[in-house]
């Protein structure tokens, strides 16, 4: 592997993409981008990142931001615990490090929402620490360069690769870490034919020499995600819709449309709403499946027009909901559906 260091660095310095968080080595910028990139494509993150940094330019501002505003800025990125952890970590940095981002890997890793990969990325990119940042891209490039039939989901193997790579890190470890990830994202592609002809490692890559790069790394069959079923109520009164804050479990404290677990028939839905005399009309709405990292929500909906508001909910206009409230992506198709219906 040590032979890949120089060609990789040279290639990276010539070809690195111009990304908004690569303008400097400010750990705040790298941190925010790394957290956003955890579940989202680079192209989609760019605009979120710019908007976020404009509104929350530094650690102090992040530590003081109102949670609802933070979640609104995060709306669409999903996995809202990431946003909450950012604020929690910013408060820790303010309280324990005087507002200065810590430099050491172990200190960074203790911050809320930061794991091995992100701690390695920040400490190497921003502070030139010889720490590795191993993600799926790095595992794939490693498997192909070394022609090793590894299981990329095996944490022990990930650790071993991390130890091997740590020994060959150059004086600019951040460039190496970013370079190998960039190579995995743009050249040594996962779900398409790798672009070996333009790869800076093609002379050294054992899988390419053996014409087996496409077979590596081994595909691991993903486990089926468990399914949960929900019935969502789009309760309307005049030009307003009912929302409330979720009190437990996944998406806790997020705004959402009233819903309950299970698939309700129309009669059951009417019974759930309770007071018969306040219902003007009820009709079935759209269904939506939302896939989280570890489960699926299968959701059906009812659009219910009410003669008077049910007081246990917060009632908002569509304009207010869109502007001021962070609605999880799982509920977005329902919002779009009722807005579309209203304009027809
Ligand atoms: S030569 Fe091909 S398989 Fe090997 S690292 Fe480069 S792109 Fe990947």
* Residue-wise pLDDT tens digits, 105-121: 999 999 999 999 999 99
Domain assignment present for 10: yes
Annotated catalytic residue, options 34, 131, 213, 240: 34
141 CB within 6 A, ligand 1 = yes
State the CATH number of the domain containing residue 280. 3.90.79.10
Residues 209, 249: one domain?
no
Residues 250, 210: one domain?
no
Q: Which of 160, 181, 215 is the last residue of a domain?
A: 215
Domain assignment present for 222: no
Domain assignment present for 221: no
Atom 1 of ligand 1, nearest CA residue: 202
Average pLDDT over residues 228-255: 92
Domain assignment present for 9: yes
138 CB within 6 A, ligand 1 = no
Which tens digit of pLDDT belongs to each residue from 33-68? Answer: 999 999 888 999 999 999 999 999 999 999 999 999
Distance 44 CA to ligand 1 centre (A): 26
**Over the range 83-111, which residues count as b (16 or more CB within 10 Å of their CB) and which as e?**
bbbbbbbbbbbbeeeeeebbeebebbbeb
Q: From the alpha carbon of 200, which atom of ligand 1 is closest?
A: 6
Residues 202, 249: one domain?
no
Domains in the chain, number? 2
Distance 206 CA to ligand 1 centre (A): 9
Domain assignment present for 82: yes
Q: Which of 179, 195, 215 is the last residue of a domain?
A: 215
Domain assignment present for 291: yes
Whether the pLDDT of residue 221 is over 90: the answer is no
**Three-state secondary structure call for residue 93:** helix
310 CB within 6 A, ligand 1 = no
Q: Is the pTM of this model over 0.85?
A: no
Please give the pLDDT value at position 276.
67
Q: From the alpha carbon of 199, which atom of ligand 1 is closest?
A: 6
**Three-state secondary structure call for residue 280:** strand
Q: From the alpha carbon of 195, which atom of ligand 1 is closest?
A: 7
Residues 281, 210: one domain?
no
Whether the pLDDT of residue 219 is over 90: the answer is no
Please give the pLDDT value at position 251.
84
Distance 40 CA to ligand 1 centre (A): 24
What are the counts of helices (DSSP H) followed by strands (DSSP E) for the chain? 15, 7
Whether the pLDDT of residue 30 is over 80: the answer is yes
180 CB within 6 A, ligand 1 = no
Residues 253, 331: one domain?
yes
Mutation to probe ligand 1, out of 11, 205, 212, 214 (largest number of atoms < 8 A from CB): 205
Residues 329, 209: one domain?
no
Domain assignment present for 283: yes
Residue 156 CB-density burial (10 A; 0-12 exposed, 13-18 middle, 19+ buried): exposed
Which position has the higher pLDDT, 76 or 334? 334
Which tens digit of pLDDT belongs to each residue from 122-141? Answer: 999 999 999 999 999 999 99
The range of the structural domain enclosing residue 55 comes to 2-215
Q: Which of 192, 215, 238 is the last residue of a domain?
A: 215
Domain assignment present for 277: yes
Residues 211, 234: one domain?
no
Q: Is 34 a catalytic residue?
A: yes
- 279 with 305: CB under 8 angstroms? yes
Please give the pLDDT value at position 67.
92
Distance 212 CA to ligand 1 centre (A): 10
State the CATH number of the domain containing residue 6. 1.10.340.30
Residues 184, 241: one domain?
no
């Amino acid at each position: 592997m040590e032979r890949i260091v120089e060609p990789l660095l040279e290639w990276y310095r010539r070809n690195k993409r111009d990304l908004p968080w690569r303008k400097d080595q400010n750990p705040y910028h790298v941190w925010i981008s790394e957290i956003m990139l955890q579940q989202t494509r680079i192209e989609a993150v760019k605009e979120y990142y710019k908007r976020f940094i404009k509104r929350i330019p530094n650690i102090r501002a992040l530590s003081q931001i109102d949670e609802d505003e933070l979640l609104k800025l995060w709306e669409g990125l999903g996995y809202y615990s990431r946003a909450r952890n950012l604020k929690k970590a910013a408060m820790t940095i303010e309280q324990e490090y005087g507002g200065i981002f810590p430099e050491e890997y172990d200190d960074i890793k203790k911050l809320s929402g930061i794991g091995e990969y992100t701690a390695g990325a920040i400490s190497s990119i921003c502070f030139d620490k010889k720490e590795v940042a191993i993600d799926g891209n790095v595992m794939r490039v490693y498997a192909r360069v070394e022609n090793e039939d590894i299981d990329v989901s095996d944490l022990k193997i990930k650790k071993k690769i991390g130890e091997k790579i740590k020994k060959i890190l150059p004086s600019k470890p951040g460039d190496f870490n970013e370079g190998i990830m960039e190579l995995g994202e743009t050249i040594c592609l996962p779900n398409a034919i790798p672009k070996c002809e333009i790869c800076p490692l093609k002379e050294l890559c054992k899988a390419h020499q053996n014409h087996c790069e496409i077979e590596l790394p081994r595909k691991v069959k993903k486990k089926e995600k468990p399914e949960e079923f929900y019935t969502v109520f789009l309760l309307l009164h005049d030009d307003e819709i009912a929302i409330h804050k979720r009190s437990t479990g996944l998406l806790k404290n997020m705004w959402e449309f009233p819903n309950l677990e299970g698939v309700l028939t129309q009669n059951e839905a009417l019974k759930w709403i309770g007071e018969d005399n306040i219902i003007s009309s009820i009709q079935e709405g759209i269904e939506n499946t939302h896939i989280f990292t570890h489960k699926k929500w299968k959701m059906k909906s009812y659009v219910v027009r009410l003669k008077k508001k049910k007081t246990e909910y917060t009632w908002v206009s569509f304009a207010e909901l869109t502007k001021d409230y962070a609605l999880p992506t799982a509920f977005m198709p329902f919002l779009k559906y009722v807005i579309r219906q209203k304009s027809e």
